[in-house]
């Protein structure tokens, strides 16, 4: 297979960036998208050019490190998939592929396709936890949890923190990410104890980081590689109203 690539190149955070054209040939349909990028980078290095910097790590769709906005969509054309789980068979031979970083002011570009998503970490640091110290806990089965709630909590907890929700949202809202964490804890008895403080702190921090508001277009849910549901956002809102007025 052969592809025309249009890739965002930007030397560093301060430099101006631009889309640069590359052509790549002899690509196997069973290659993953990132393996195609590896091939491109090896070719660039052989020519003495600098490779395209991009984030990636586990390459099994779970660490959330890979990003990239491919052909107009975060994580590319397949639903429920991270970029690392995208295969070249999902593209057509000769196609032009646009590859851009996740774009949001809250995710500043570090280089090329690498963005800084530490805003998510900072949101977690103000409330994305249950305040228990190591060793001070009771036997696990002393906290029974209704199976349906446990399953919903697990659904929410599957979030990999990749930021596709922000990248897809017209307002660059982080609501899906934040609500997934709030939901996980709100649904479990362990998390209920400080649920109000948590939602107030995390929502506050989400605004501080400069993410936009949720306007319920559903783009985040559609692009989320883990299929995190919009119901989490409704739950966050509910939790937030109750916490604000009580």
Q: Which of 3, 5, 40, 65 binds another protein (CB under 8 A)?
A: 65
* CB of 72 or CB of 94, closer to another protein: 72
Which residues, 122 to 161, sit near another protein by CB under 8 A? 124-135, 137-141, 143-147, 150, 153-154, 157-158, 160-161
* Structure-block tokens of residue 51: 């490779």
9 binds another protein (CB under 8 A): no
234 binds another protein (CB under 8 A): yes
Which residues, 199 to 228, sit near another protein by CB under 8 A? 200-201, 203-204, 206-207, 210-219, 222-223
Dist CA 147 CA 214 (whole Å): 30
Phi, psi torsion values for 111, nearest 5 degrees: -165, 140
Question: Hey, is 86 helix, strand or coil?
Answer: coil
Question: Minimal distance in Å, beta carbon 122 to another protein?
Answer: 8
Q: Which of 3, 117, 176, 182 binds another protein (CB under 8 A)?
A: 117
Cβ contact 83:70 at 8 Å: yes
* CB of 206 or CB of 228, closer to another protein: 206
Question: Minimal distance in Å, beta carbon 121 to another protein?
Answer: 5
Query: Where is 227: in which H helix or E strand?
Result: none
DSSP state string for 116-159: --HHHHHHHHHHSS----TT----GGGS---HHHHHHHHHHHT-
2 binds another protein (CB under 8 A): no
| Binding flags for another protein, 17-56, as an x/- string (CB under 8 A) | --x--------x-xxx-xx--xx-xx-xxx-xxxx-x-xx
Q: Which of 5, 85, 177, 182 binds another protein (CB under 8 A)?
A: 85
Beta strands 73-74 and 18-24 are unpaired
Q: Which of 25, 176, 185, 228 binds another protein (CB under 8 A)?
A: 185
HEC profile for 169-190?
CCCCECHHHHHHHHHHHHHCHH
- Strand residue runs (E) in the chain: 3-9, 18-24, 69-70, 73-74, 96-100, 109-111, 114-115
Question: Minimal distance in Å, beta carbon 14 to another protein?
Answer: 11
Which residues, 87 to 116, sit near another protein by CB under 8 A? 87, 89, 98, 100, 103-106, 110-111, 114, 116
172 binds another protein (CB under 8 A): yes
């Amino acid at each position: 297979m052969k592809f025309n690539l249009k890739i965002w190149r930007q030397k560093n955070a301060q430099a101006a960036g631009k889309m640069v054209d590359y052509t790549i040939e002899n690509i196997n349909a069973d290659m993953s998208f990132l393996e195609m990028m590896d091939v491109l980078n090896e070719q660039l290095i052989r020519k003495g050019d600098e490779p395209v910097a991009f984030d990636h790590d586990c390459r099994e769709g779970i660490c959330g490190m890979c990003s990239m906005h491919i052909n107009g969509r975060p994580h590319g054309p397949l639903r429920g998939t991270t970029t690392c789980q995208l295969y070249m068979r999902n593209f057509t031979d000769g196609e032009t592929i646009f590859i851009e970083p996740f774009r949001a002011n809250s995710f500043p570009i570090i280089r090329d396709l690498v963005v800084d998503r530490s805003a998510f970490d900072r949101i977690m640091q103000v409330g994305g936890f249950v305040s228990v110290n190591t060793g001070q806990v009771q036997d696990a089965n002393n906290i029974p949890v209704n199976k349906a709630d446990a399953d919903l909590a697990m659904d929410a907890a599957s979030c990999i923190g990749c930021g596709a929700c922000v990248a897809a949202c017209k307002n660059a809202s982080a609501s899906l990410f934040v609500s997934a964490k709030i939901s996980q804890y709100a649904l479990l008895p362990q998390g209920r104890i400080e649920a109000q403080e948590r939602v107030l702190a995390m929502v506050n921090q989400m605004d501080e980081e400069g993410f936009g508001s949720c306007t319920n277009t559903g783009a985040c849910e559609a692009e989320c590689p883990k299929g995190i549901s919009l119901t989490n956002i409704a739950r966050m809102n509910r939790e937030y109203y109750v916490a604000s007025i009580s």
